[in-house]
Amino acid sequence: MIARVIISLSLRERVKEIEKILLEYNLSLNHPDLLYFTGDVKIGIAEARRIKDHFAYKSFRGKIKATVLEDASQMSLEAQNALLKTLEELPTDGLFILGADSDSKLLPTVLSRCQIIKLQGTSRQGSRQAGDREQVGDYQEDIEKLLNSSIEERFAYIEKLKDREEFLKFMVQYFHQQLTEPATHTRPGLARLEFLKELLQAEEWQKQNVNLRAILEYLMLVMPKVV
C-alpha cells in the first residue's frame, strides 16, 4: 500500500479527510492498530522510531496497521529521512496518512514515495484578498535575479525587503517546484535539493524565533549561483 499525503491549509479539513479514510478501514481513534499523532505533536527521531516499530509488527486483528500524522509539517528533517525506507517499503496491510498545510514542508524524497491528495482551497494565492500585492510574480523574478547576484547585492535586497516571512515561504515553494523540472547545467538537481534542505531548516529556525533577517542573510550565502 502506498502512503498518502493530504494537503490543505485547514487542519480541520485535513482531519475530516483522515477520519473519512479511517472509517473506510473500520479504524477508530482508540483502535490498537492505529498510531495517531495530533497536530500539536512535533515529529522527531523518537517519534519516527515509534512509527517504524509500529509497522514492523503484525496487526492485532490481522487486517490493517495504520499511522496518522495530522500535521506532518511538524516533522524534522531527520525524522523525514528516517522514515524514507518505511514509506518506500510500507507493508501490504500498512496505512500511512500524512497531513500537511503545504507540500513544500516535506522533502521531495518523501513526496515521491506518497500519493498526494490536495483538498480544495489549498492555494495560498487563492486566499489573498482582492487588491493585495501580487508578490508571487515579483518574488519569482527577484529570486532568479538573486541567483546571478553577488553576495553584496543579495544582502542589500534582504535589507530592503519588507515582507521577509512571505519571501521565505515563496522561496521554499519556488525551489520545491524547480525540483520537478529536468536538471540542466545551469541548475544542477543536487544543488537545488541541498538548498531546499537549507530552506526547510530555515523554517525550523524561524519557528524557534531566530531573527528572520539573519536567517535570510544566511540563505543568501548558501544559495546556489547560476553561471
- Supply the pLDDT for residue 62: 65
Tell me: do 137 and 116 sit in the same domain: no
91 shares its domain with 147: no
Residue 128 lies inside a defined structural domain of this protein: no
User: How many structural domains compose the chain?
Assistant: 2
**CA quadruple 175, 226, 186, 201: dihedral positive or negative?**
negative
Smallest Cα–Cα separation from 54: which of 32, 81, 24, 22?
32
Judgement on whether residues 9 and 112 belong to the same structural domain of the protein: yes
Q: Kindly state whether residues 102 and 7 are assigned to the same domain.
A: yes
Same domain, 208 and 146: yes
In which domain, by residue range, is 152 found? Answer: 133-222
Query: Does residue 22 sit in the same domain as residue 84?
Result: yes
- pLDDT tier, 179 (very low <50, low <70, confident <90, very high otherwise): low
Instruction: Examine the domain organization and report whether 22 and 112 are in the same domain.
Output: yes
Whichever domain contains 17, its CATH number is 3.40.50.300
Q: Which residue reads 483522515 in cell numbers?
A: 18
Whole-angstrom Cα distance, residue 197 to residue 223? Answer: 11
Residue type, 19: E
Asked if residues 82 and 48 have their Cβ atoms less than 8 Å apart, the reply is: yes
Which residues touch 2 (CB under 8 Å, ≥6 apart)?
Answer: 90, 113, 114, 115
Sorting pLDDT into bands at 50, 70 and 90, what band is 3?
very high
Instruction: Decide if 227 is inside a domain.
Output: no
Same domain, 15 and 64: yes
Give a yes or no: residue 154 inside a domain: yes
Both 77 and 150 in a single domain?
Answer: no
Question: Do 31 and 72 reside in the same domain of the chain?
Answer: yes
Residues 168 and 195 sit within 8 Å (Cβ to Cβ): no
pLDDT of 139-171, one tens digit each? 888 998 999 999 999 999 999 998 888 898 888
pLDDT of residue 130: 30
Where among 121, 151, 180 does a domain terminate?
A: 121
User: What local confidence, expressed as pLDDT, does residue 51 receive?
Assistant: 97
Rg, C-alpha atoms of the chain: 19
Q: Within this chain, do residues 79 and 147 fall inside the same structural domain, yes or no?
A: no
Last residue of a domain, one of 101, 121, 141: 121
Same domain, 116 and 154: no
Instruction: Specify if 97 maps to a domain.
Output: yes
Nearest residue to 4 (alpha-carbon basis) of 99, 80, 82, 77? 99
Out of 121, 145, 179, a domain closes at 121
**pTM for the predicted model, two decimal places:** 0.58
